[in-house]
Chain A
């Protein structure tokens, strides 16, 4: 018995979106290193090799992570349940029944709007159970939210 992957992928624009989202952290780290380690007394090793290593690591992360994420992030909605898969190094799959869904939230910050994407969060009565779909195309997200709110308005009870 295996748990198969969900059917739908997220939008391909999510790859540059994730890259741009991870970039500021590396810039901060690099800037901190250059400022902190740039006094002339330090070894050549510390002054040059460490920032170079950081650049290599950053490049590896920014190239590998978004593409790996794109292959892992998937979502699916059937007539009874919502099923999402997310992560890259650490992967998580979440399943919740539609009858227990409480709210469906869409989040579009400035970065998401730049890439015309949206992040959808489906919450249940459990604080541990929100299902997140990151990097959905805006139109798909709107359709999904409309469909989910339509279906969940018919069910009663919230399992508390």
Chain B
């Protein structure tokens, strides 16, 4: 524990330390050589202080964390507000046998929330079990006590047996999904490789600039530049693109392996889901199943081409989709679409929301999609035309004209992705083309509704119906849905909320969709 904090703080302070050392050298004085080691010493001292002043306490009612020497901060959370527990262990942690525990509650945190760094791994596992399973244990205790209190016709040995059965039966883990090595083939279709390559190239070029070395002077690079100059430009471009593709692919495969190595998704019979993954930094996320309100099945364009998808959980208390590797709410790494749907059905305990056919949104929505796409394309063409008129290269106009069929295809795909349904006790909505996402949300978790109409949507009779919820992204929208479909949908999903505010359309009898006469409710 004492070792982790200073090492981590040193790592975070390296840019500042490098700056201090360089500043010392720039001043040119021989007496300032001690700045570097002094900086290191200060950082170590501060981190040791921070370790000494961090205390935590767990009682049956509360979890408390107190940090800080100069500025004291105490964070306290009621124990029954804990929704998820995330146990992370970086390589350094694992070498020392430690782990970091992040506790998620239902609120929106500014800052870090409850983070207990550098517990031993046994402590972390015990803490997680206690925080998540205390409610279930409390429920079982009360039921067992009430059973014992009742005069029972069953003989005493039989009672003991059933109690033992309960104990062992409740500690079962069923595996829902496990990493398959063949899924690595989806890695190049994610954006992680491109982002990683951009970051490396950016940092690399800055380093080269600042170190004062001109790249052209170095031997091998000079040889490479000569080779490039000798060849025609199209060959250079082709070779450059091929090299870039290979680089990005290698990076993304490496990133995929690092993030998702050893991935396992299990369901614990005490009512929680566990996700473990990671190669150098292992992550172990536990989600209380009572707080799991739905799933998001996402298909970014590239993954859709490869027939793959990503699965995330909609739950309270976890930061949704933070981080390029999907963050804490990721349930499945990029995997074949059939596997993703199967796991989603297993998690929801109902295949209907994943398989159900969605209601289309009608010709008005299609017209709207086409109008917007063609408007964007025409803006591009006009801009290219103006540029050419002012003297730019004429091929710009041809490039802009290519955008028209692309816009048409995009609009058609975006229209076909739109849809909604109610399946079982879930609201299902889907939208998007470049990033198509099917959101499945428990109807019970919907708090309220927002119905938004822009000026043009009002003319077309469309609206955007948003279900607000405390889980996941906080809002799940049904886009460009005709108002005549939206209101019955909202009424079915959350019966009773809209009753006071709905009126029958003029010209129709006073009936609600189920065919029952609608009682007039008193208004305040």
Q: Which residues of A contact B (CB under 8 A)?
A: 1-4, 6-7, 76-81, 83, 89-97, 100, 124-129, 131, 158-160
Cβ B448 vs Cβ A124 within 8 A: yes
Enumerate 26 A-B pairs (CB-CB under 8 Å) in ascending A order: A1-B502, A1-B504, A1-B505, A1-B513, A2-B505, A3-B451, A3-B487, A4-B501, A76-B523, A78-B521, A78-B523, A79-B524, A81-B501, A89-B455, A91-B458, A92-B450, A94-B448, A95-B498, A97-B447, A97-B497, A100-B448, A124-B470, A126-B470, A127-B474, A159-B470, A160-B106
User: Beta-carbon contacts of B99-136 to A below 8 Å, as 1s and 0s?
Assistant: 00000011110000000000000000000000000000
Cβ A93 vs Cβ B512 within 8 A: no
* Nearest-CB residue, chain A, relative to B452: A92
Cβ A2 vs Cβ B466 within 8 A: no
Q: How far is the CB of B456 from chain A (nearest CB, A)?
A: 10
Q: Which residues of A contact B450 (CB under 8 A)?
A: 92-95, 128-129
User: Quick check: is B453 within 8 A (CB to CB) of the other chain?
Assistant: yes
User: Quick check: is B500 within 8 A (CB to CB) of the other chain?
Assistant: yes
Q: Which residues of B contact A127 (CB under 8 A)?
A: 108, 474
Cβ B502 vs Cβ A4 within 8 A: yes
Q: How far is the CB of B371 from chain A (nearest CB, A)?
A: 17
Q: Which residues of A contact B498 (CB under 8 A)?
A: 3, 95
What secondary structure prevails in chain B residues at the interface with A?
Answer: mixed
* Nearest-CB residue, chain B, relative to A89: B455
Q: Which residues of B contact A128 (CB under 8 A)?
A: 450, 466, 468-469, 474-475
In the complex where A1-B487, A77-B524, A89-B454 touch, is A83 in contact with B468 (Cβ < 8 A)?
A: no
* Nearest-CB residue, chain B, relative to A100: B447
User: A95 CA to B467 CA in the complex, in Å?
Assistant: 10
User: Quick check: is B370 within 8 A (CB to CB) of the other chain?
Assistant: no
Q: How far is the CB of A40 from chain B (nearest CB, A)?
A: 26
In the complex where A80-B496, A128-B466 touch, is A90 in contact with B475 (Cβ < 8 A)?
A: no
User: A86 CA to B369 CA in the complex, in Å?
Assistant: 25
User: A77 CA to B466 CA in the complex, in Å?
Assistant: 20
Q: Which residues of A contact B458 (CB under 8 A)?
A: 91
Cβ A125 vs Cβ B500 within 8 A: no
Residues 417-462 of B at the A interface (beta carbon under 8 Å): 445, 447-455, 458
User: Quick check: is B83 within 8 A (CB to CB) of the other chain?
Assistant: yes
Cβ A159 vs Cβ B447 within 8 A: yes
Cβ B106 vs Cβ A158 within 8 A: yes
Q: Which residues of A contact B475 (CB under 8 A)?
A: 126, 128-129
* Nearest-CB residue, chain B, relative to A84: B450
Cβ A158 vs Cβ B470 within 8 A: yes
Chain B interface size band reads: 35 or more
* Nearest-CB residue, chain B, relative to A97: B497
Cβ B451 vs Cβ A92 within 8 A: yes
User: Quick check: is B306 within 8 A (CB to CB) of the other chain?
Assistant: no
User: Quick check: is B271 within 8 A (CB to CB) of the other chain?
Assistant: no
Cβ A83 vs Cβ B470 within 8 A: no
Q: What 7 pairs between A and B have smallest CB-CB spacing?
A: A160-B106, A96-B448, A128-B475, A129-B468, A125-B470, A126-B468, A128-B474
User: A91 CA to B105 CA in the complex, in Å?
Assistant: 34
In the complex where A124-B468, A158-B470, A160-B316 touch, is A2 in contact with B504 (Cβ < 8 A)?
A: yes
User: A76 CA to B521 CA in the complex, in Å?
Assistant: 14
* Nearest-CB residue, chain A, relative to B512: A1
Q: Which residues of A contact B453 (CB under 8 A)?
A: 90-92
4 more A-B residue pairs beyond the given contacts A1-B503, A129-B475, A160-B316, with a C-beta to C-beta distance below 8 A: A81-B501, A93-B452, A129-B450, A160-B83
In the complex where A79-B524, A93-B450, A129-B468 touch, is A159 in contact with B445 (Cβ < 8 A)?
A: yes
User: A125 CA to B483 CA in the complex, in Å?
Assistant: 26
Q: How far is the CB of A124 from chain B (nearest CB, A)?
A: 5
Q: Which residues of B contact A125 (CB under 8 A)?
A: 106, 447, 470
* Nearest-CB residue, chain B, relative to A88: B455
User: Beta-carbon contacts of B310-329 to A below 8 Å, as 1s and 0s?
Assistant: 00000011000000000000
Contact of A83 among B317, B454, B501 (CB under 8 A): B501
User: A159 CA to B81 CA in the complex, in Å?
Assistant: 11
Q: Which residues of A contact B455 (CB under 8 A)?
A: 89-90
User: Quick check: is B484 within 8 A (CB to CB) of the other chain?
Assistant: yes
User: A60 CA to B454 CA in the complex, in Å?
Assistant: 20
Residues 69-101 of B at the A interface (beta carbon under 8 Å): 81, 83
Q: Which residues of A contact B501 (CB under 8 A)?
A: 3-4, 6, 76, 81, 83, 95
User: A159 CA to B448 CA in the complex, in Å?
Assistant: 11
Q: Which residues of B contact A100 (CB under 8 A)?
A: 447-448
User: A89 CA to B455 CA in the complex, in Å?
Assistant: 5
In the complex where A90-B453, A96-B468 touch, is A129 in contact with B447 (Cβ < 8 A)?
A: yes
Cβ B468 vs Cβ A80 within 8 A: no
* Nearest-CB residue, chain B, relative to A8: B524
User: A94 CA to B484 CA in the complex, in Å?
Assistant: 17
Contact of B448 among A1, A76, A129 (CB under 8 A): A129
Cβ A80 vs Cβ B451 within 8 A: no
Cβ B451 vs Cβ A90 within 8 A: no
Q: How far is the CB of B522 from chain A (nearest CB, A)?
A: 8
User: A79 CA to B500 CA in the complex, in Å?
Assistant: 10
Contact of B497 among A80, A124, A131 (CB under 8 A): A80
Q: Which residues of B contact A90 (CB under 8 A)?
A: 452-455
Q: Which residues of B contact A6 (CB under 8 A)?
A: 501
Q: Which residues of A contact B503 (CB under 8 A)?
A: 1-4
Q: Which residues of B contact A83 (CB under 8 A)?
A: 500-501
User: Quick check: is B416 within 8 A (CB to CB) of the other chain?
Assistant: no
Cβ B512 vs Cβ A160 within 8 A: no
* Nearest-CB residue, chain A, relative to B291: A160
* Nearest-CB residue, chain A, relative to B475: A128
Q: How far is the CB of A20 from chain B (nearest CB, A)?
A: 25
Interface centre among A1, A80, A91, A100 (most CB of B within 10 A): A1
User: Quick check: is B491 within 8 A (CB to CB) of the other chain?
Assistant: yes
User: A3 CA to B490 CA in the complex, in Å?
Assistant: 11
Interface centre among B448, B455, B466, B469 (most CB of A within 10 A): B448
User: A124 CA to B449 CA in the complex, in Å?
Assistant: 12
Q: Which residues of A contact B497 (CB under 8 A)?
A: 80-81, 95, 97
Q: Which residues of B contact A89 (CB under 8 A)?
A: 454-455
Q: How far is the CB of A73 from chain B (nearest CB, A)?
A: 15
Q: Which residues of A contact B504 (CB under 8 A)?
A: 1-2
